[in-house]
Amino acid sequence: MGGAVELEQALADALRLLISGDRALWSIIGLSLSVSLRALACAAPLALVTAFALAYLRFPGQRLLVTLFNTLTAVPAVLVGLLLYLLLSARGPAGDLHLLFTPTAMVIGQFLLCLPLLVALAHGTLRDGDRRAWEAALTLGAAPWRALLTVAHELRFGLLAAFIAAFGRIVAEVGCSMMVGGNILYHTRNVTTAIALETSKGAFATGIALGVVLLAVALVLNFALSWLQGNARPAAWA
């Protein structure tokens, strides 16, 4: 019973915090979105081209690469964080860049995290897609990169779903951001590292408020996706 009352209280406090436009809270939310969107924007083109090569070209080691990317989707965020930490720390090979505990380090970490997932999902979409689209584009004289854009357009809903899944993975990860970001308020504190911190402090309201924001982001993305897919149904063509 006590637990339920506490949760109710925390939820009410959370909503009040969100509505009142608490500066620290909104800086945290802003950082989460900006880091994850930047990571996704950097990874998406590279992942698309890689997935494309894996699905449509023939070269030695192709199957091995597919397996590798599929395996890498399961790497824990905290391990990516650890490796990146060792790389960026003052005595690490890339220490001179002074990137540790900056949002850029977090972007790099999330980039590494979402790349294999994007490649694996986009590869699945392209492999299961109609190969005739690629062939028709090429035979009608499209340069390979324009044929790639054509196929990406033809399969845009599947690819968009892959992007949204990847965004969901990185916006919700905590281990890597904590390791290489350092959870510094107004600088590298994002939604997930903040939840971890607030919870350890016993400040459940802030933790829940942040959780609500994460859920809201996910909800908006999924509504956007199903709206787009709904608009593309063949019934709408006739």
Q: Nearest distance from residue 144's CB to other proteins, in Å?
A: 9
Q: Does 59 bind other proteins (CB under 8 A)?
A: no
Per CB under 8 A, the list member of 99, 137, 159, 191 interacting with other proteins is: 137
Cβ nearer to other proteins, comparing 91 with 237: 237
Per CB under 8 A, the list member of 33, 49, 83, 138 interacting with other proteins is: 138
Q: Nearest distance from residue 161's CB to other proteins, in Å?
A: 16
Q: Does 141 bind other proteins (CB under 8 A)?
A: yes
b/e per residue, 147-164, with b = 16+ CB within 10 A? bbebbbebbeebbbbbbb
Per CB under 8 A, the list member of 15, 53, 133, 225 interacting with other proteins is: 133
Q: Does 62 bind other proteins (CB under 8 A)?
A: no
173 to 232, contacts with other proteins by CB under 8 A? none
Per CB under 8 A, the list member of 24, 130, 216, 220 interacting with other proteins is: 130
Q: Does 143 bind other proteins (CB under 8 A)?
A: yes
Q: Does 53 bind other proteins (CB under 8 A)?
A: no
Per CB under 8 A, the list member of 49, 95, 154, 214 interacting with other proteins is: 154
Q: Which residues contact other proteins (rule: CB under 8 A)?
A: 130, 132-133, 135-143, 146, 150, 153-154, 234, 237-238
